[in-house]
Structure formats: structure tokens, C-alpha cells
Amino acid sequence: MGVALPVASASEILVPNYIEPRERIPVPDLQAVSRIRFVTTVDFPPFNFLDQTSRLAGFHVDLARAICAELNVLPKCQIQALPWNELDGALSSGQAEALISGLAITPETRANHRFTRPYLALPARFALRKDAAIGGPGAGALQARRVGVMDGTAHEAMLRDWFPDIKPVTFSRQDWMFDALKANQIDAVFGDGLQLSFWLSSQAADACCRFFDGPYFSQAYLGEGLAIAVNPRNADLVTAFDQAIAALTRNGRFTELYLRWFPNGLY
């Protein structure tokens, strides 16, 4: 069923930690680098979006700045927002040095990009009503239960494959699925942990529900996780970014950013 990635506890919320404690990554000499421009989008909150003052904000924006500060190259760093379909061109043409916007790591993208190690994986989670009478703490307690899932998604395929004893109930709209859960028309839902996290704490959920079991990680269904992409000619930046993220994890800065943007956690 796959293996959950390592996490560390902070304030009772599990925080991702993908760094080997004893590993030390050498820092490339970046003195000759005149600019490090990150490109991202404005339509992927809470990772990257425009805030109420029309300024670029989000987890990715703060992470890019923290990386530059850790590498002591903050004056050389820039962050620019572009439409999604222009990001790759900006990277390949040299208009940007790094892409930090959730580009999927696939054999096709690996052919044209170098990626850092993943710094955040988006797990699948179950959620159910707080008053649900489930006879056990694990997913086995959902055997023969009706579980909502979005039709035609990786989460539907994952639910059917990993939990064949559950009865999937497919929905074409997420709000319909959540309404069905609140109305007790289904026993649970299964989907993206990020979206579920924000729905559970929203006014629409009205404190009805909670996470149940998990998290579940699967490269086959959910990908390798979020990473920064660079042009192969800038391969040294990958090593530098990996070193910076490792340092931010050790000194607690990554945890601060994670808790700021994901206060309810994903795991």
C-alpha cells in the first residue's frame, strides 16, 4: 500500500521532514551567479496567489525567499508570477532560473528539467463526520461503507485499488460530495489531503467532520511530491536548493513556514 514519508511532530501537527539528519550536502559556489529568478503562478493558493493588496504571497513565495536567505544570495533573488503556460518557456529561454509552482515530476519533465528533492508530498486522506459510529481506528473499519470520491480522479483509482472492500460513491462536484457527507448520505470521503484540510476548517464544513486514518502516499497515483525545477544548465542550483531546504528543516524555519500556511496540517 505504499510507505508514508517521514514526518516530525510540532505542536501536535505532523510536519514533513524528508532530510536525513546526518546528511550534509555541499554548497556550490554561487558567487558567479548574477541572478536567481523564481517563476510561479497566482492561481494555486495557499502555495502562490495574490493577496488582498495584489502582492504575490504563499508558501512557495516564502520558501523561495527563505532559500535565498539561507544561501546568502537574497539580493540576487527575484520572484515573478506568470501564466502557467509561460513558465516552462521562461525557464528554457533563460528568463528564469527556477520554477516553483508544482510542476509534476514525470519522465517527460525530467527529460528537460533538473528537480530538487521533493520538499512536500500531498497525501490522500479520509474524512468522516465527528459523530460517525465507526468500529475501529483504521480504514478497515470502512469495509462495506459508502465513501465519496471525485469521479475520474487519481483518488478514485487509488480508493478502488487500495481499499477494494469499500463502496465508492462518485461525484462530479466537490461541493456535492461534501454536502452528502454533512447530510450523512455517505459514510466518509476520500481525496486530496490539502483540499480536505482547508474544507474541514471552513465555514462550509461547520465543524462537522474530521480526518480519519492515513495519511496515504503513493508515487504511482499521487506523484513524487512538490519540487523546484531548474534548467539542466543550472544544475548547481539544484544542489544549492537541496542544501538550503535541508538547513531550513534542521533550524526549524521550514516548520514555521509549513505551520503558517497549513495551520491544520495535511498529515
The class level of CATH for 7-121+224-261 reads: alpha beta
Q: Does the bond joining 118 to the residue before it have cis omega, within 30 degrees of 0?
A: no
Summarize the confidence of residues 187-192 as an average pLDDT.
Answer: 97
Q: pTM to 2 decimals?
A: 0.86
* Cβ within 8 Å of residue 81, ≥6 positions away: 39, 40, 41, 42, 48, 50, 56
Summarize the confidence of residues 229-254 as an average pLDDT.
Answer: 93
| pLDDT tens per residue across span 69-81 | 999 999 999 999 9
Q: Residue 11: pLDDT above 60?
A: no
Overall fold of domain 124-221? D-Maltodextrin-Binding Protein; domain 2 (3.40.190)
- Return the exposure string of 189-213: e unless at least 16 CB atoms fall within 10 Å of the residue's CB, then b: bbbbbbbbbbbbeeeebeebbebbb
| In the chain, domain spans | 7-121+224-261, 124-221
Summarize the confidence of residues 256-261 as an average pLDDT.
Answer: 93
CA 11 to chain centroid, in Å, comes to 20
Summarize the confidence of residues 114-129 as an average pLDDT.
Answer: 94
Summarize the confidence of residues 40-61 as an average pLDDT.
Answer: 94
26-30, 75-79, 179-183: segment of lowest average pLDDT: 26-30
CA 54 to chain centroid, in Å, comes to 23
Rounded distance between C-alpha atoms, residue 13 and residue 8, angstroms: 8
Q: By the 8 A CB rule, do 137 and 213 touch?
A: yes
The residue with cell 512536500 is: 120
The domains spanning 7-121+224-261 and 124-221 adopt the same CATH topology: yes
